[in-house]
Amino acid sequence: MSKNGQIYRISGPVVTAIGLNAKMYDVVRVGDEGLMGEVIELHGEKAVIQVYEDTSGVRPGEPVTNTGQTLSVQLGPGLLTQIYDGIQRPLPILLEKMGTFITRGVDADGLDQERKWTFEPTAKKGDKVEGGHVVGTVQETETIAHKIMVPPNTSGTIKSIKGGDFTVSETVCVLDDGTEIAMMQRWPVRAPRPYKQKYAPDTPLVTGMRILDFLFPLAKGGAAGIPGPFGSGKTVTQQSLAKFSDAQIVVYIGCGERGNEMTEVLDEFPELIDPNTGKPLMNRTVMIANTSNMPVAAREASVYTGITIAEYFRDMGYDVALMADSTSRWAEAMREISSRLEEMPGEEGYPAYLSSRLAEFYERAGRVETLEGEDGSVTVIGAVSPPGGDISEPVSQGTLRIVKVFWGLDAPLARQRHFPAINWLNSYSLYPQSLDQWFKDNIAADFPEVRTEISSLLQVEAELQEIVQLVGSDALPVDQQLTLEVARMIREYFLQQNAFHEIDAFTGVQQQYLMAKAILTFQSEAKNAIEAGGMLEDVVNVPARSNLMRSRFEENYLDRIEGLVADMTKEIAAAAEEN
């Protein structure tokens, strides 16, 4: 059978070809225009292909050519600062070639084949190397050194290696068996990249968002889901995570988002300044933009493209944060292709394999020992956009079965202008037990107890609010009225955070701990003052308390907080004595 076949049937992005000698997941060129596609089913001599471009105008009888390769990405210097579509075509290059609208059948390399990079060898002639070993580095951006690795499944002794300026496809190292190593390697997107071993998650990904780090922490190498209705702040939350989390590399996948929303992200990201280095955030970011009006099959590929790039940087020993916004659109792409394939639908029309595909994606997160023997991690944060905010739908439920952190965004909180609008009553994290030792060693010995106390105060407030709605807060005993005041302080002073304020946008974990302790100090001092005969109103309204809350927007708050708490303690004691 020849490598060439012809189109037999077309159903939207799904094309059936006959006479094509192909294997599963072979990349093929469809029709006279050579549209890119991938074989996803084989029935006798019929091959079913999902096409990553628009198929309108294509007709039966046109040729289909098998490239014999699987869907792969190009990995090497030049990935950072780049904006790709779902199949790793650089959007700025496509813009140059065809203007505003992407025409069909256009190819573009993921990496610039002309640009020369300065390669500095770290290995030498005679060294034995195996897959994953670093042979040299390239200073890709001002802040990131790109390590050139031996491709996995390759090993030998270095016969020659040279430094200098090379393009990504030129040979920089030759092994004794004649294997040539260039700075670029290809990797099939559906295959996870190998590593030595996976570690237990025992180090937190510090995000700078108080509600996340303190109440619902995420471990490096963990997976989190952010379900939330339209307008509840998923995208802003993910942008804050990209900007402030202590990951060294960010991979942002805009998967099926609206064009105008993606435009905002593409406009804003290049303007963002990395708070750690003072350099543009794009210096350590790879973006994949696949908007809702782009071909649906490419949306399915974009998630795999992103996670493969993230794993590649993990293999260099970097901590990578991958944002997928949103996995619901990816699932909708699977649903559309599944219905075109006439597969038996599962719940709400999604394919029966939805959960296993979600698991396949999230399981590629992890903190690992790389083949080189270093530590690297990929942390996956997937936004979910359930229709009508109903998280009982299959994508949300499938995600929650897999991830260990659930940051539930809440429309009523967003309407009250409480941001981040993460509901503290139905969100959860399963990592605190494995992270507590880190918090004890690095922040404070009583960190877990303080977290538990803050959480239980919020739970008690929720129960008291039901009574307040019936009889009003004045009918409650004084100690319960004080609990409501303390919980209000937690909400307004601690949980609310302004993502657009230059100081309040990021809070270090040490400062978060001191803020939580300040709230508990207020509670115990106020309780003592009321027992000593002080009036609740006088105790609650001491000026130093307002000063403590307001000052978090000012510089050097961490250095001043203990003095502010001491002032508050004195004023509360004085308020009790007045009575």
Task: Give per-residue pLDDT as tens, 39-58.
Answer: 999 999 999 999 998 899 99
- What does each C-alpha distance from 227 to 278, 427, 534, 565, 566 come to in angstroms? 32, 10, 45, 37, 40
Element containing residue 546 per DSSP (H, E): helix 543-550
**How far apart, in whole angstroms, are the C-alpha atoms of residue 517 and residue 494?**
11
447-578: CATH class: mainly alpha
- The residues of the chain scoring below 70 in pLDDT are 1-2, 579
Cβ contact 270:65 at 8 Å: no
- Per-residue pLDDT tens digits for 248-298: 999 999 887 777 777 777 777 777 777 777 788 888 999 998 887 777 888
| Structure-block tokens of residue 575 | 């308020």
Spatial CB neighbours of 366, under 8 Å, sequence gap ≥ 6: 195, 198, 199, 221, 377, 378
Q: What pLDDT sits at residue 575?
A: 85
Q: What's the CATH code, domain 197-429?
A: 3.40.50.300
| Structure-block tokens of residue 230 | 């339209």
Task: Could you please state the CATH topology (level 3) that the domain comprising 113-183 is classified under.
Answer: OB fold (Dihydrolipoamide Acetyltransferase, E2P) (2.40.50)
Q: What pLDDT sits at residue 103?
A: 74
284: DSSP letter: G
Domains 197-429 and 447-578 equal at CATH topology level: no
Provide the 3-class DSSP secondary structure of residue 143. Answer: coil
Q: What pLDDT sits at residue 1?
A: 40
Q: What's the CATH code, domain 4-70?
A: 2.40.30.20
| Domain chopping of the chain, boundaries | 4-70, 113-183, 197-429, 447-578
Q: What pLDDT sits at residue 579?
A: 62
- Beta-ladder partners of 298: none
